[in-house]
Structure 1
């Protein structure tokens, strides 16, 4: 059964259908509560799992980490597990996603909220994201500009984007915007991009 609406709607108005999605990684496994009108609510997105399997271990333990566009929270949950000393932030515009991510994360140090609720003085050591491509390229550029701008000078972001949804053009745009951007890995059309400040 399909429902009307989009995962990037702030307040989904369709009937909420609940589901469950399993995640199994070498170092972490969990079952997440999901719901309709939240991104990839019936099955874990291939790009998200690709990111979680291939994202490099940071050189130093991070203090503040961000799941940008958290959905129901699988990336934030893995961040909690891998960085127990860090404060994990998960942000989304979709209120239904926010409530689900709160249910699917465990640490008292984790904050799941709307983007405007993140204090302006917070800078991030690490950002992981399967960004909301379907909001449109120009809107996506605004989102990336805003949150990449919150990286510490030594911070790094990892983005997973499908080639068919504009990964290569986004990489070129980031480079033109003076971000040091490299493609770490590709699989089945997905690109894992590493984004840093130019030193």
Structure 2
């Protein structure tokens, strides 16, 4: 089978469950992963035959995609803030909205003229947030914690691949005894689980079936569980003048802000993402 024939097969097979543009985008990602050739190179070498190994990889990728596995898990990588990061079943696939959260922090630190901030990311997953922050703020000291050993292994590997120094620890943030050992920081950031269980019925199958539920869902009767706990922790672990940043559920923007105000934070700001949805919160201690 030629490169062009393989590309066409992918699009045709994916067409029933995707619009034409989405199917083509997925096919391009898979073909680049299998062949190692860019889109332009694949046009030039469109009549080149796949090797036996590449043909097997194509078949495996197509089987996974038709079972609704996200293409990022099929290829084992995802792009975030200009970096190609490893992803797998232990970690969420980084979203563009989270890039906006990183950009908010980066701009605030640069505007403060205090580049040597101490930063903690809670629930780090793939390490996307702390690795991007360290990349953009090289003078900062960056820590990251997660409850999942598998996630931390992935995050450490990503930091090593990017040649960036991030300190990772396994911590259950809901366990106050475990989190008490953390040092002091100037900035704490988190994109914690924030989707209510009842919302899963309306979510894409590929998210519910494959991305780690521990990183997605909270109980229906306690949607702000992690915000409450991290808010309390941050009051103990932030230096004077410290700042807390969250990615949030768009349905609970003001509720999250009110919770933080009730915990004694002096200035709380809700920020919308590029789609006009409440997506981020900043709270000053």
Q: How far apart, in 2, do the equivalents of 1:119 and 1:109 lie?
A: 23
Aligned to 1:7: none
Q: How far apart, in 2, do the equivalents of 1:154 and 1:95 lie?
A: 32
Q: TM-score, normalised by structure 1?
A: 0.76
| SS at structure 1 position matched to 2:266 | strand
Q: How far apart, in 2, do the equivalents of 1:174 and 1:129 lie?
A: 14
Q: 2:218 aligns with which of 114, 132, 135?
A: 135
Aligned to 1:90: 144
Question: Which runs of 5 or more residues in structure 2 are unaligned?
Answer: 1-66, 173-177, 195-216
* Bigger proportion of residues as helix: 2
Alignment of 1:114-133 (within 5 A): 114-115=170-171, 120=181, 122-133=183-194
Q: 2:108 aligns with which of 30, 40, 57?
A: 57
The 8 Å contact of residues 269 and 283 in structure 2, kept in 1 or not, is answered as no
Higher relative contact order (CA 8 A, sep 6+): 1
Question: Computing the radius of gyration over CA atoms, which structure comes out larger, 1 or 2?
Answer: 2
Cα shift at 1:185: 2.4
Aligned to 2:263: 177
Closer, same or farther: CA 89–156 of 1 in aligned 2, 3 Å: same
Alignment of 1:21-60 (within 5 A): 21-24=78-81, 29-39=82-92, 41=93, 44-55=94-105, 56-58=107-109, 59=112, 60=114
Cα shift at 1:131: 2.0
Cα shift at 1:103: 0.6
Cα shift at 1:93: 0.8
* Bigger proportion of residues as strand: 1
The 8 Å contact of residues 257 and 270 in structure 2, kept in 1 or not, is answered as no
Can you list the C-alpha shifts for 1:79-115, whole angstroms capped at 9, x where unaligned?
1112222221011111111111001114574211112
| Count of residues in correspondence between the two structures | 177
Question: Which runs of 5 or more residues in structure 1 are unaligned?
Answer: 4-15
Cα shift at 1:120: 2.6
The 8 Å contact of residues 156 and 168 in structure 2, kept in 1 or not, is answered as yes
